[in-house]
């Protein structure tokens, strides 16, 4: 049915008004429920990842939506030990959605590995009246959260934030999409110069234990070979394939994850230069540029979804789980199961590489 403009505006207005009334009524109810959690804190920990700010924003705004107060902890577990907290009212997180890095800073805390460090941290959380925590990070962050929750009564919801994408319980981690797009852009540029000089470029990407960045960006950039930590590397076999295609190829790109068994791009290059001196070989280590930059739309949306889900999970009484996305839906996985155990590389992706790199 098509409404005349004025009538349509009236109907839409009435619906909006009744939704607003409902929403205010719900918020009112929530604010006056004495049993409801009122004070939560959020922190980022481990390696930063693009999209962490979008996630902090989502957590702070969701808390405000439900009438809760949000605190931010500076430098993750270190800030918990140092009693370094800031208030995060909704306007405080304006203008950060598109920014890389993390407004709350991050750290890898050695002190939190000790019982003394964790006791100090918990004392500060209690003194501030923190009733629930949102931990944004990767493997190390969640291990820390597991230790904390084993010793004290504070519910933690984890949010996967790492460029490595190496956690169980989620298809994607915040930052991964931005990182692989950064790699693709870099390799496209490298390909230009490789083509011009007929060179073999060995490009090292991040991933100490996981080859997911290497594998996906390898497919996306049309690399001729990808070396990853999860599989044994037979460099001679890889080079034999390069040799077969050498007659009609004007450039070759080999992507090496930093944790690959050859020992990274420099070691691989050394061996190749020695055994195949007829290749004009160059190495490019992309390093920390993969961790910086404005998050892609995928990462911003993922971060926003998970930030909202985490706060709602705390309100629902969930504890010690990670909020992730599996097959497009929000899914919760116990924190101790989310921590990294080497996922086998997707065989379909390996097949793609095999077929397409000929
Ligand atoms: O875990 C994220 C990550 O970027 C890894 O891919 C990389 O191996 C590591 O962090 C680098 O850590 P750092 O910034 O401490 O050198």
**Ligand 1 atom closest to Cα of 139?**
1
Contacts of 306 (CB under 8 A, 6+ apart): 55, 58, 159, 160, 174, 323, 324, 325, 330
CA dist., res. 30 & res. 162, Å (int): 33
Site to probe by mutation for ligand 1, drawn from 44, 46, 47 as the one with most ligand atoms within 8 Å of Cβ, is 47
User: By CB neighbour count within 10 A (0-12 exposed, 13-18 middle, 19+ buried), where does 115 fall?
Assistant: exposed
Q: Whose CA is nearest to atom 1 of ligand 1?
A: 47
Per domain, the residue ranges of the chain are 15-175+295-334, 177-292
Ligand 1 centre distance from Cα of residue 288 (Å): 8
Closest residue by CA, ligand 1 atom 11: 47
Residue nearest to atom 10 of ligand 1 (CA): 47
Cβ contacts of residue 104 below 8 Å, gap of 6+?
42, 43, 44, 52, 56, 72, 73, 74, 75, 76, 79, 86
- Same topology between domain 15-175+295-334 and domain 177-292: yes
The angle at the Cα of 224, spanning 220 to 226, to the nearest 5 degrees, equals: 75
Cα of 192 to ligand 1 centre, how many Å? 28
Is 164 in the active site?
Answer: yes
User: Can you list the alpha helix ranges (DSSP code H) found in the chain?
Assistant: 5-32, 52-65, 76-82, 115-127, 139-151, 176-197, 212-221, 235-245, 265-275, 297-315, 335-338, 347-356
- Residue range 177-292, CATH number: 3.40.50.460
Order across the sheet with 252-257: list the strands: 225-227, 252-257, 200-205, 281-285
- What is the pLDDT at residue 150? 95
Nearest-atom number in ligand 1 for the CA of 163 is: 2
| 283-312: burial string, b at 16+ Cβ within 10 Å, e else | bbbbeeebbebebbebbbebbbbbbbbbbb
List ligand 1's pocket residues with C-beta within 6 A. 47, 138, 162-164, 206-208, 258, 291
Length of the chain in terms of residues written = 358
Of 164, 166, 260, 299, the active-site residue reads 164
User: Residue 281, SS3?
Assistant: strand
Quote the ligand 1 centre to 248 CA distance (angstroms).
37
What is the reported pLDDT for 23? 55
User: What tens-digit pLDDT sequence spans the chain (358 residues)?
Assistant: 333 334 444 444 454 455 544 554 555 454 445 558 999 999 999 999 999 999 999 999 999 999 999 999 999 999 999 999 999 999 999 999 999 999 999 999 999 999 999 999 999 999 999 999 999 999 999 999 999 999 999 999 999 999 999 999 999 999 999 999 999 999 999 999 999 999 999 999 999 999 999 999 999 999 999 999 999 989 999 999 898 887 788 899 999 999 999 999 999 999 999 999 999 999 999 999 999 999 999 999 999 999 999 999 999 999 999 999 999 999 999 999 999 767 789 999 999 999 998 7
How many angstroms separate the alpha carbon of residue 95 from the centre of ligand 1?
A: 26
Per CATH, is 15-175+295-334 categorized as 2.170.190.11? no
């Amino acid at each position: 049915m098509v409404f005349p403009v004025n009538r349509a505006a009236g109907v839409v207005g009435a619906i909006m008004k009744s939704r607003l009334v409902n929403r205010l009524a719900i918020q009112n109810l929530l604010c006056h429920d004495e049993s409801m959690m009122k004070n939560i804190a959020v922190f980022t920990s481990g390696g930063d990842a693009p999209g962490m700010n979008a996630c902090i924003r989502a957590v702070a705004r969701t808390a405000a939506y439900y009438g809760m107060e949000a605190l931010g902890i500076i430098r993750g577990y270190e800030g918990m030990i140092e009693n370094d907290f800031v208030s995060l009212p909704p306007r405080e997180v304006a203008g950060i959605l598109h920014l890389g890095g993390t407004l709350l800073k991050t750290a890898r805390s050695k002190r939190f590995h000790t019982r003394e460090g964790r006791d100090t941290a918990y004392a500060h959380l209690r003194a501030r009246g923190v009733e629930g925590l949102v931990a944004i990070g990767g493997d190390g962050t969640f291990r820390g959260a597991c230790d904390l929750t084993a010793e004290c009564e504070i519910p933690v919801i984890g949010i996967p934030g790492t460029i490595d994408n190496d956690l169980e319980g989620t298809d994607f981690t915040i930052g991964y999409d931005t990182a692989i797009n950064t790699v693709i852009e870099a390799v496209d540029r490298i390909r230009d110069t490789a083509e011009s000089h007929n060179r073999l470029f060995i490009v090292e990407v991040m991933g100490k234990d996981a080859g997911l960045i290497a594998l996906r960006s390898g497919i996306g950039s049309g690399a001729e070979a990808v070396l990853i930590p999860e599989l044994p590397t037979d460099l001679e076999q890889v080079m034999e394939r390069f040799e077969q295609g050498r007659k009609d190829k004007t450039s070759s790109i080999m992507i090496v994850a930093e944790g690959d068994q050859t020992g990274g791009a420099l070691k691989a290059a050394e061996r190749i230069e020695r055994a195949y001196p007829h290749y004009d070989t160059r190495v490019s280590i992309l390093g920390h540029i993969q961790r910086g930059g404005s998050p892609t739309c995928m990462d911003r949306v993922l971060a926003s979804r998970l930030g909202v889900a985490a706060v709602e999970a705390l309100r629902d009484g969930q504890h010690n789980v990670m909020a992730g996305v599996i097959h497009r839906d929000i899914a919760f996985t116990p924190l101790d199961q989310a921590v990294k155990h080497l996922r086998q590389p997707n065989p379909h992706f390996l097949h793609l590489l095999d077929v397409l790199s000929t």
